[in-house]
Amino acid sequence: MNRAAFFTHLTTTDPRLFAGGMTAAQRAGLSVKLDVWAKWYAGCHPVSYLAAALGQIWRETGGRMEPVLEAFAPDRKISAERLQKAFDAGRLSWVKSRYWLADETGRHPVGGGDIQLTHRRNYVNAEDRLRARFGVSIGLAENYDLILDPVISAHVAFSGMIEGWFRPCKLEDFCGPDGLDYAAARDIVNGDAGLIGEEIARNCQIFEAALRAAGADRDFGPPEGSIDWPGLRKPSVRNRLLSWYQWLAGRFGQNESSR
């Protein structure tokens, strides 16, 4: 993959997403995502999956292309205050429960990351699923702010969309003879495809065109930077097997309860 061609496409050939040029932070955020994809995902998933994730991330981060807290707040407390203010003003009429309030751990599980995780259960689930998929223990359930780490956040976005962590659907559910339906696939992240699906599709198509212009569909290539899990705590083989069995049992239980 020719990274220079990828960035040139986004800033010159079709600059609709980066009309004012790309900042150093946006370029760095995208570079980490490309490196994570190159190391862990490119060998077994098509570039359309990456384009689908990048198009959603552009929307979820307000175009910043790096992990953010909800309401673009500097910390969780301020994020919760901003959400409460919006809720009181009637601007969050679709919210059924005030997930931004401090939970049983005393933390505020406001949205965070490239794809916004909300509610403690989703932070815990992401920790469990990363452990099951990669055999790593990150500590996300104990420290929600780890979702702001660019490597962890990219994994949550990519694996979450591929495996269906956020809602009961995943990327392969939207694949058909004509390719991946980017607009409908918005439902993987949020149930508002009817409202913003076309915007999401535009984003994804621009990223896919940039990836193909760079040759990513032919040979994605290795990461360009040194990339690995931050502060990696690798569990023992015994704990990895135990976590896998617990995850499998949980999935079986969910299937049984849904019958």
Written as tens digits, the pLDDT of the chain (259 aa) is 999 999 999 999 999 999 999 999 999 999 999 999 999 999 999 999 999 999 999 999 999 999 999 999 999 999 999 999 999 999 999 898 999 999 999 999 999 999 999 999 999 999 999 999 999 999 999 999 999 999 999 999 999 999 999 999 999 999 999 999 999 999 999 999 999 999 999 999 999 999 999 999 999 999 998 999 997 644 445 545 655 565 566 555 544 433 4
The two tokens of residue 144 are 């929600």
Delimit the domains of the chain by residue range.
Answer: 1-67+169-228, 69-148+232-259
- Please give the pLDDT value at position 94: 86
pTM: 0.88
Q: What pLDDT is recorded for position 231?
A: 74
The answer to whether the beta carbons of residues 185 and 200 sit under 8 Å apart is yes
Question: In the prediction, which pLDDT does 155 show?
Answer: 98
C-alpha 128/C-alpha 142 separation (Å) is: 12
DSSP at 223? -
Kindly compute the dihedral angle of the four CA atoms of residues 14, 17, 21, 22, in this order, to the nearest 10 degrees: -120
* pLDDT value of position 237: 58
**CA angle (189, 94, 51) in 5-degree steps:** 20
For 97-114, b/e burial (b = at least 16 CB within 10 A) is eebbeeeeeebbbbbbbb
Q: Is-contact 100 84, C-beta < 8 A? A: yes
